[in-house]
Amino acid sequence: MERIRRILLMVAGLISLTSFATPAPLPDSEVKNLLARIRENRITQADFQEQRVIRLMKKPLVNSGRVWFQPPNKFRREVKGNSPSLTVSDGQQLWIYYPNFKSAERYPLGKRSPLDSTVAAINSALNLENIENTFQITATKIDPPQAGYELALIPRTASMKRVFQKLELHINDQLRAERTEMLLPNGDRIVTTYSNQTRAPVPPSTFEFKPPPGTDITTPLGQ
Amino acid sequence: MRISDFIARTITQRRGLVWCGVIALAVACIAILITSLQLDSEIFNILPGRFSSVQGLKIYDRDFEQTRELTFALLCDPQDVDKLEDFSQAFAEKLRKQPWCTRVLAGSPMATPDGIRDLQSIAVPLLLNLEPSVFDETMSILRPEKIRDRLGRLRQQIEAGSPRPEFELSFDPLGLIAPALKPFAENNAIEQEQPLTSPDRTMRVFLAVTNQPSISAFECQRLMRRVNEFRAAASEGWDGGRLQLLVTGRSAFVSEISLSMRYDVVATLLGSVLLVGTIFFIGFRRWLPLLGMAVCLLLSCLVALTLAQLLFGRLSMISVAFCAILVGLGVDFAILTMGRYHQARADGEPHQQAIATSVANLGRAIFFGALTTAVGFLALVLSGSMSFSQLGVLIAIGIFVAGLFMCSILFLFIRERHRSVRHDWLFEIVKKYVRWTVRRPLGMLVFSTAFLLLLTVVGFSPIPPLQFEASTRSLQPKNIRASNALQEIMRRMPVRWEPVLAIVHATNPQKLHDDWQRLAAHWMDLQGAGKIKSFSTPTALCPSPNWMQRNREQLGAINFRATRETLVQTLDAEGFSPEAFAPAFTLLDDLQRLADPNEPLPSWRAQLPKSSSWWFLVDRYFAQDPLLTTGFVTTNQPVSTHAQSKELRRNLSVPGVPIILSGWSYVLADLLPWSHRQLLIISALMAIFDLSLLAILYRDLRLWLIQVVTLAFGIGAMIASMKLLRINLNLLNVLSFRLVLAIGVDYGIYTVLVWQKTHDVEHDVAGVMKPVLLAGLTAVSGFGSLALARNPSLTGLGTACALGIFWSLVATIFFTLPAMAAAEPKPWNANKIDKD
C-alpha cells in the first residue's frame, strides 16, 4: 500500500496545478462557480519544489523539477538533481523511470489494479469534474499580502482515505496554485511549491514514454 | 384349497382377526420408525459413491473449513458506489459482531496493516522451510557488504521518488521476508483469484466463517434463521437507493435444499393421492374402496420404510419420495382387483366367491406385474448411488407388499351387500372401443402403427438430438435464494470457472511436503506447456522437517553480532531512522535464537493469529486434519466432457503421489460414462429381462413380438416427446427408461394374459381394459405429481416417467389390442374366460 500511496501522492499533488479557489468564505454555490472558472482556464505546466517528511528517513527529502498536465488524465513529472526520475501517465499506464539505475516501473491503470479506484478519483479531481462529490471542500479567503485562497480537500471515499488524509491547496489571487500540503495516514507529509505556471499547449508526445534500450523494466503490481 | 379361496374365506369369515393383524403390523412399523428412523440429507449420496471424484467431493464438503463459510454480497445502484464503499466498512464490523460469526474477510489482507503484520509474523518458519539452496542464497543478504549495497540503493530510489523502496523497507527491512514469502505469494494472489469488488463497484463481497457446531441440515437451518435475522437489519444506516444483501454458501444451500425436500415429500405425496384418488373415484364411484386403497397404500409405505430402515440403517430424504411413486404404482393393483371383483358381482357371484374370482383371475398378472416393476426398480441398486439404491429397494419392497395387500386387505373395505353402478359410462366407452377394434382391427392398427412409428423414428433418430445436461444446475432445486445469490455474484464478478480440486492426504508432514513439491513442479511444467491455465497449492505452507532442520544448522554459521553492527552503521550513514527499522533487529534476534538446536522449530500455524484474515486463504488448502490438503487447478476451458476429465487425470497425476481429483464440474464430467451406462446397458439388461419373462409367460411368438413392438413404441414415443418438449436428460432422469420398461410392460401382461384365455371378449377384455386405462392414468398421475417437487432430479425423473408410461398405455390400448385381434382373431361374445 505504501507504494500505491506514494504514486498517488505525486499524482494528487498535480491537483494543485488546476485547482483554484473562489472568494472566502465560500458557500457551495460559489465553490461550483469557482470550479467552473478553473475548468475553463486550466494551467498545463509548472516548476515545482517538493519536501517530503517520511518516517523512514531522519531528515526531510527535497527535490525539484517540472510537471505537465493535460485533462483528463495525462501528466508528466520530471525530477532533477542527484536522484532524477521521470513519471509519465498516458491514462492507461503509469511509468516511473530512474535514469541513474537505468530502471523503470510500469503500473497498469484500468485493469482492476488496486490503484484504479483511487487513481480514477484523483483523475476526476485533476479534471475537476465531479470534484464536489469526491472531496469535502473547505475554502477560506486569505487577505493580502498573500492574497488568495486556502482549500482543504478531505477525501469522501474509504479508498481515497487510505491514500491520504488531507490535501491543502494555497491558491494565489490569479487563481494559480502556489503550494500544496498533503498529510498521509501514516503521518508522512509532502509539501510542494509551484512557480512559473503557464497555460501553453503541450504536445501529445509529452505524455508518451518509451524506455531507453537496456532499461530494466519491472511491474510491481503485475501486468 | 386354492390360495384365492383361502384368502377369500379368511377375509370374509375372519375379519376381526385380519383387522387385528393389520393394526398390529401398523403399530409395529410405526414403533420401529419412531425409535430408529434416521434421515440422510446428504446431497452427494445421489451420486454413485464408488467414484473417487465423488468421494473427493464428500471429503472436501465434510473436512474443509469452507463448508462453514458464507458469502455475503452487497449490491447497490451505480450512483451509490461511493456510499457502498463507506457502508461496507460498517457492514463488515456489524458482521464481525454476530455471535455466529468467527472471521470476516472484507478485502485483501495485504490492504490492511493487520494483514501485513500477520504475514510478517509467519516469515521465520517459512524462511526455514525454503529449499536449501534458496535458503542459502537468501541468508547471504545478511553479509555486511550486501546490507550496505541494498540500503544505499534503496535510499537513492527513495530520493528519486520511487514508491517501491518505501514499501519494501516498511514490509521487509532486512530483505529476508520477501524471499521467505515468495513461494507462498506466487500462487496465492487472493485479490486476483477471488476479487471482492465487482469491476463496476456496485457489488462488494464479504466472506464469513461461521461457528456452527455441525454441518447437518438442521444445524444449517438454525444458522440461516439467525443469518436471516441479521440480513433483515443489516441495511440500517444505508442512506442510498436500493441495497440488496445476497447470501450464499454451503449452509445456505443445505438449509434451503433440506427445506425444499420436506416440501417435495408433502407436495408430491398430496398431489399424488389427490390425483390418484380422483381417477379411482371416477372409475368406480365408491368411497369405501377408495379409503381401503389408501389404507393399503399407507400400510405398504409403512412396511417398506420399516424394512428399508432396518436394512440400511439410514434413509436418504430423496428416497423417501418413493411414497408418491408407490401410490401411483400400487393403485394399479387395487384398480385391477376391484374391477374384476365388481365384474364378478355383476355376473351374480356372491361376495366371497367374487373375491376368490378376482384374486384367482388377476393374482398371477399382479404377481408378474409386481415382479417386473420390482426388478426394474431394484436395478437402481446397480446405479451405485446410495440414494437411488435405497429408492429402488424401497419401491421393490413396497410394490410387492402393495400387491399382497391389494389382493387381501383391500377386500376388508368392500361391503358384502352389493350396490351396482347404474351407468358405468367409462366401461361402456371402453367396451365399444374393444368391440370396434376386435371386429375391425386393421384400421386402428394401421393408424396407430403409423403414428407411433413416426414418433419412434423421431425418438431414435439423431435429429433433433436429445440434450444431455451435465451441469450442477440440473441437480439444484429451482429458485432458491442461495442459488440466485450465487448466480448474481458470479455474473457480476469476473471469476473464472470452477477449478479442479486435487486432494492429497499424507501420513506425515515430510511426505505431505514432498508430495506437493513434486505435484507443484509437475504442474508448473504443464502450465508452461499450456496444458493448464494456472494452479495454486499449499506447498509453501507444508513444512519439511528435514529442510527446516538443515537450514537451522546453517544459521549457526552466521555472525549475527557483526550483522547487527553493520545494520546500525549503514542506517546512520544513509540517513535512515533507526526506529523505523526496529522489526529488522527483532528478526535478527529471532534467527539467532533459532540457531540454538535446543530451540523448538517454529510453526506458522502457531504464529498466525487466530483472527487473521489469512486463515481464509489457509483454509482453502487445509482441512481440520493438517495432513489433508487440496490444491486447485484452473483449466484452459471449463471441464464439461469426460475426455477432458480423463486427460486431466492423466496429466495432473504424478507417479507415487496419491491424489483425488474432484470438484463439481469435474465430477459431473467424470460421471458422464456412468450415466450413459445407466441409459444404455442397464436399460438394455432390463429390456432383456422383460422380454425373457414375457416369452416364458406368453409362450406365443406372435404375441411376444407384439409386446416387444409395443415396448419399443412406448420408449420411442417417450424419447420423441422429450425431444419435442425440450426436456433434457440429466444424470438422474436417465434412470426413467428402465422404470418405464418395468411399468409399461405390466399393461401388456394384463391385456395379453386375458386375451390368451378369453372366450368372451366383451366380458373379459373390456373388463380388463378399463382397469388398465385407470391404472395407467393413476401411474401417470403418480409420477406426474413429482413435477410439483422443487428438486429438479425428482421433477425430471417424474416427468420422464409420466411421459413414458403415458405412451406405453397408448401403445397398449391402440396398438397391442388391435394387433392381437389381427394376429389371433377372437369371436365376439364367445364363451366365458377359463377358470384357473
Q: pLDDT, tens digit, for every residue of B502-520?
A: 999 999 999 999 999 999 9
My answer on whether B332 and B370 are in the same domain is: yes
Residue ending a domain, among B621, B643, B662, is B662
Q: For residue B699, what pLDDT band results from cuts at 50, 70 and 90?
A: confident
Which cell numbers hold the place of A67? 510537471
**Interacting residues of A203 by C-beta distance below 8 A, sequence separation 6+:** none
Question: What number is the average pLDDT over the span B56-67?
Answer: 83
* Span B89-146, pLDDT tens digits: 889 999 999 999 988 888 777 777 788 888 888 889 999 999 999 999 999 999 999 9
What pLDDT does residue B297 have? 87
For chain A, the distance separating the N- and C-terminal CA atoms, rounded to the nearest angstrom, is 17
Q: Is B677 exposed, middle or buried (0-12, 13-18, 19+ CB in 10 A)?
A: middle
Mean pLDDT of chain A: 75
Q: How confident is the model at residue B496 (pLDDT cuts 50, 70, 90)?
A: low
Average pLDDT estimate for B613-631? 88
Decide if A158 touches B, using CB distance below 8 A.
yes
**pLDDT at site B450:** 95
* Secondary structure letter of residue B499 according to DSSP: P
Under DSSP, the state recorded for B834 is: P
B298 and B376 co-located in one domain: yes
Q: For the ranges B298-302, B563-567, B753-757, which has the lowest average pLDDT?
A: B753-757
Provide the CB-side half-sphere exposure for A66 (13 A, CA): 9
Residues B9, B125 share a domain:
no
Residue B170 with chain A: CB contacts under 8 Å:
2, 56
Compute how many other C-beta atoms are within 10 angstroms of the C-beta atom of residue B739: 27
Q: Does residue B366 form part of some domain?
A: yes
Across the range B372-378, mean pLDDT stands at 80
Sort out which chain B residues have CB atoms less than 8 A from A96's CB and list them: 161-163
- Identify the residue with better confidence: B63 or B192: B63
Does some domain include residue B694? yes
pLDDT of amino acid B320:
65
Q: What is the pLDDT of residue B495?
A: 60
> Which of A1, A105, A162 is the closest to B164 by Cβ?
A105
Q: Which residues contact B50 (CB under 8 A, 6 or more apart)?
A: B384
Report the distance separating Cα B742 and Cα B749, nearest Å: 11
Sheet holding A93-98, edge to edge: A135-142, A148-155, A166-172, A177-183, A189-198, A45-53, A61-70, A74-80, A85-89, A93-98, A103-108, A216-218
* Number of C-beta neighbours around residue B528 at 10 A: 9
Is the same domain home to B731 and B819? yes
Rounded to an integer, the average pLDDT of B813-836 is: 73
User: In chain A, which residue's Cα lies nearest the Cα of B494?
Assistant: A112
Residues B342, B449: one domain?
no
Pairing state between β B315-316 and B468-469: unpaired
Shared domain check, B313 and B188: no
User: Could you identify the residue written with the cell 416364458?
Assistant: B696
Model pLDDT, residue B415: 79
pLDDT digits (tens, 9 = 90+) for A116-129: 544 544 454 455 55
Q: Which value does ipTM take for this structure?
A: 0.80
Give the pLDDT band (50/70/90) at residue B567. Answer: very high
Pairing status of strand B500-505 against strand B628-634 = antiparallel
Q: What is the DSSP string of B412-438?
A: GGS-SS----S--HHHHHHHHHHHHHH
B781 and B643 share one domain: no
pLDDT band at B834 (very low <50, low <70, confident <90, very high): very low
| Amino acid found at B135 | F
Whether the predicted pLDDT of B570 surpasses 90? yes
Cell digits for B301?
A: 409405505
Domain count, chain B: 4
- State yes or no: pLDDT of B196 exceeds 50: yes
Answer whether residue B442 is part of any domain: yes
pLDDT tens, B228-250? Answer: 999 998 888 898 899 999 998 88
CATH class label, A2-218: mainly beta
Same domain, B732 and B642: no
Grid cell, residue B725, equals: 418438449
Q: Residue B474's pLDDT is what?
A: 62
Q: Does the structure show a pLDDT above 90 at B312?
A: no
Q: How far apart are CA B617 and CA B468, in angstroms?
A: 36
Entry field: residues in chain B: 836
Kindly state the cell numbers that stand for A114.
488496486
CA B432 to mean position of chain CA atoms: 49
Lowest-pLDDT choice from A63-77, B62-76, B204-218, B467-481: B467-481
Tell me: pLDDT of B784 over 80.
yes
Kindly tell me if the per-residue pLDDT of A131 is higher than 80. Answer: no
Give the confidence band of A11 by pLDDT, cuts at 50, 70, 90: very low
In a domain, B714, yes or no: yes
Task: Give residue B152's domain range.
Answer: 115-194+539-609
Q: Identify the pLDDT of residue B212.
A: 86
**Domain of B453: which CATH number?**
1.20.1640.10
pLDDT above 70 (res B88): yes
Q: How far is B134 from B137, CA to CA, in rounded Å?
A: 5
A29-33, B580-584, B636-640, B651-655: which range is least confident on average?
Answer: A29-33
- Residue B657 and residue B512 share a domain: yes
- Has this prediction a pTM greater than 0.90? no
pLDDT for residue B324: 66
- pLDDT, position B534: 84
- Distance of residue A155 Cα from the nearest chain B Cα, in angstroms: 11
C-alpha cell read off for B243: 441495497
Residue ranges of alpha helices (H) inside A51-176 are 116-127, 131-134, 158-163
Whether residue B820 sits in one domain with residue B705: yes
B799-823 per-position pLDDT tens digit: 898 999 999 999 999 999 999 999 8
pLDDT confidence band for A1 (50 / 70 / 90): very low
Q: pLDDT band at B321, cuts 50/70/90? A: low
Using DSSP, state whether B190 is helix, strand or coil. Answer: helix
Say whether pLDDT at B718 is over 80: yes
Residue B156's pLDDT is what? 85
Interface A-B: count of C-beta contacts within 8 A? 97
Burial of B699 (0-12, 13-18, 19+ CB in 10 A): exposed
Measure in Å the smallest separation between the Cα of B519 and chain A Cα atoms.
Answer: 25
Do B88 and A85 lie within an 8 Å CB cutoff? Answer: no
Note the pLDDT tens digit of each residue in B245-292.
999 888 888 888 778 777 877 887 788 778 878 887 887 777 888 888
Task: Judge: A83–B160 Cβ closer than 8 Å, yes or no.
Answer: yes
> For an interface test with A, which of B76, B82, B155 has the most A Cβ atoms less than 10 Å from its Cβ?
B82
Bridge partner list, B661: B502
Residue type, B17: L
- For the segment B163-189, what is each residue's pLDDT rounded down to a tens digit? 788 888 988 899 998 888 888 776 655
d(CA A192, CA A63): 10
**How far, in whole angstroms, is CA B153 from its chain's centroid?**
59
Give the closest residue to B365 by CA, choosing from B339, B397, B393: B339
- Are residues B310 and B354 located together in one domain of the fold? yes
A208 CA: distance to closest CA in chain B (Å):
19
Say whether residue A7 is in contact with chain B using an 8 A CB cutoff: yes
pLDDT above 80 for A17? no
pLDDT at site B458 = 92
Is B355 in contact with B8 (CB distance < 8 Å)?
Answer: yes
Contact A65, A48 (CB under 8 A): yes
CA dist B65 and B102 (Å) reads: 12
* Cβ contacts of B469 within 8 Å, gap of 6 or more: B728, B729, B730
Q: What is the pLDDT at residue B261?
A: 74
CB B515 within 8 A of CB B628: no
| The pLDDT of residue B100 | 93
Q: Report the pLDDT value the prediction gives residue B522, as an integer from 0 to 100.
A: 95
Share of chain B above pLDDT 70, in %: 93
First to last CA, chain B: 13
Domain positions in chain A: 2-218
Q: Does B337 lie in the same domain as B400?
A: yes
Distance in angstroms (rounded) separating the CA atoms of residues B136 and B139: 5
